[in-house]
Amino acid sequence: MRIKSISSLLGSMLLVLAATMIFPIAWSLYFGDGDLPALMVSMAVTLLAGLIFLFFGRNPEEITIKESFLFVSLGWILAAAFGALPFFFSGVLPFYIDAFFEAMSGFTTTGATVLDHIEAVPRGVLFWRSMTHWLGGMGIIVLFVAILPRFGFGATHLLKAEVPGLHPEKITPRIAATAKILWSIYMLLSAAQAVLLLMAGLSLFDSLTHTFGTIATGGFSTRDASVGGLFNFKAELVIILFMIIAGGNFALYYGVLRGNVKSLFKNPEFKFYLSFMAFMAALISINLYASLGSGSTSLRQGVFQAVSIITTTGFTTADFDAWHPFSRILLFFLMFAGGSGGSTAGSIKQIRLIILLKYIYREVYRTINPAAVLPIKIGKKVIPEQLVSNALSFIFLYLVIFIAASVIMSGLGLPFVSSFAAVAATLGNVGPGLEMVGPTLTYSPLSGVSKLLLSFLMMLGRLEIYTVVVLFLPDYGFNLSLGRAKNVALKYLKIRGLGKMRGEG
């Protein structure tokens, strides 16, 4: 494990992060809300830290898969650590753990917040808050590879470690070119939505911030009441459309831009994604109609909330925690669905759900036809058994982590439903949950330990678990380094007479 190489990469990434802080600084200058010094200091500290990492590092020509996984995991931790500085230095969040939670929620496109009065936040800091979504949506490391394409074969590992889905799709043979194309599509869609929101009557500031929250499927809004606080039906329609787009596979959109529109609607996962979303939106809308009695309101709220939760965006237009239990429990389970593989959405993902359903069908069919050979197909494509195993093990590990973390949250004092909802909403990068963490409330009442645990779950969910969990394998270089440090510490304690030999009673 070449620590100096990782230090150099982290330093370069922090320089890129510092450079992006120029945009909230520009908005701070424009509005004059008094947050300029905090943003300037945050940029300077991030820049200095980047230079220090570079000074002690060594520029690698290529990185190994182990190094890429460690770099990606540390990169996201450092992004949140330094991304928290504008919240902390401005006094918006005077406790650093709260600021770290907010930044991690932003970069991982979770949308969970500890801010109780969003509309009182200075707009430079508020723009940075939304911008963390946009940077994290397509991926900080993917942006990094696109800007600094110098890693050779190692760039493949970086893309694999960060891009969601069963496996990253290479649009072109060169990974750096793939990263540039993905970011180009991302920016094109962002520009299109921002223009449409302007046409719908939103200000440039609100158009950009809500675009960042939509395209990244993040959910940070500039209003305490989220999108419902905009009181703009046209803007809601635009946001619904782009939430659906953002929940689709961005690699498919490259084919559309090249003129192959049919490939999008022939794709089995995309068709399943749209059908699943339409069915769930219909169920919720019908249930709402039974209680609200208004067809238009039920349809408007039901469709928006179903799309928002399935795509893990987390925007809200109503307090769904006050809805009928049927709709509430549906929304809770939808937190586990997610969008398509290769999208900016979080959670389990539609492609894995399809594989799970087909696997269940195959095993049930084999009970009456034991000799049957049934490869799992999606469309006409046979899915290799290795990918089937990968998908099923991911779902199993996801649910194990969900249950374990929910038990821990309950042990930390959170009520039963709130514990499950908080873990589902953060591990799935959804944002709002139920009861204590419902759509009209925030995560601010939670303890510092709870916030750190949920921050870790956000990163686990965004990096799809394996990238982080692999660091703790016994034969992983980073883990071995920790083991050596532990052995040195134990030897020191034994020399000092503070430890016991193994087997001593």
Residues 125-152 as b or e (16 or more Cβ within 10 Å = b): bbbbbbbbbbbbbbbbbbbbbbbeeebe
- Nearest in space to 186 (alpha carbons), one of 144, 240, 142, 234: 142
Give me the domain span that covers residue 35.
3-334
Is the pTM of the predicted complex or chain greater than 0.85? yes
Strand partners, 378: 381
Predicted pLDDT of residue 140: 64
- Condensed to tens digits (0 to 9), the pLDDT of residues 359-393 reads 999 999 988 888 878 889 888 888 888 889 989 99
Check the CA dihedral 430-421-98-453 and report its sign.
negative
Residue 483 lies in a domain: no
Name residues whose C-beta falls within 8 Å of residue 165's C-beta, 6 or more positions apart in sequence. 249, 340, 341, 342, 349, 351, 464
Q: What is the DSSP string of 177-200?
A: HHHHHHHHHHHHHHHHHHHHHHHT
Residue 359 lies in a domain: no
Q: What is the DSSP string of 398-410?
A: HHHHHHHHHHHHH
- Nearest in space to 31 (alpha carbons), one of 206, 219, 192, 187: 206
Tokens of 501: 């030999």
Instruction: Summarize the confidence of residues 28-45 as an average pLDDT.
Output: 96
User: Rounded distance, CA 337 to CA 430, Å?
Assistant: 10
Q: Over 90: is that where the pLDDT of 497 sits?
A: no
How far is CA 234 from each of CA 188, 195, 200, rounded to the nearest angstrom? 21, 13, 6
Amino acid identity, position 330? L
Helix (H) or strand (E) holding 454, with range, is helix 448-462
Average pLDDT of the chain, as a whole number: 87
- Nearest in space to 388 (alpha carbons), one of 150, 226, 166, 153: 166
Residue 226 lies in a domain: yes
User: Rounded distance, CA 328 to CA 326, Å?
Assistant: 5
Residue 75 lies in a domain: yes
Residue 500 lies in a domain: no
Predicted pLDDT of residue 279: 97
| Ramachandran assignment for 152, one of left (phi > 0), alpha (psi -120 to 50 degrees), beta (any other) | left
- Condensed to tens digits (0 to 9), the pLDDT of residues 298-355 reads 999 999 999 999 999 999 999 999 999 999 999 999 999 999 988 889 899 999 999 9
| Ramachandran assignment for 465, one of left (phi > 0), alpha (psi -120 to 50 degrees), beta (any other) | left
User: Rounded distance, CA 210 to CA 215, Å?
Assistant: 9
- Condensed to tens digits (0 to 9), the pLDDT of residues 3-26 reads 888 898 899 899 999 999 999 999
Length of the chain: 505
Helix, strand, or coil (residue 414):
coil
Number of structural domains found in the chain: 1
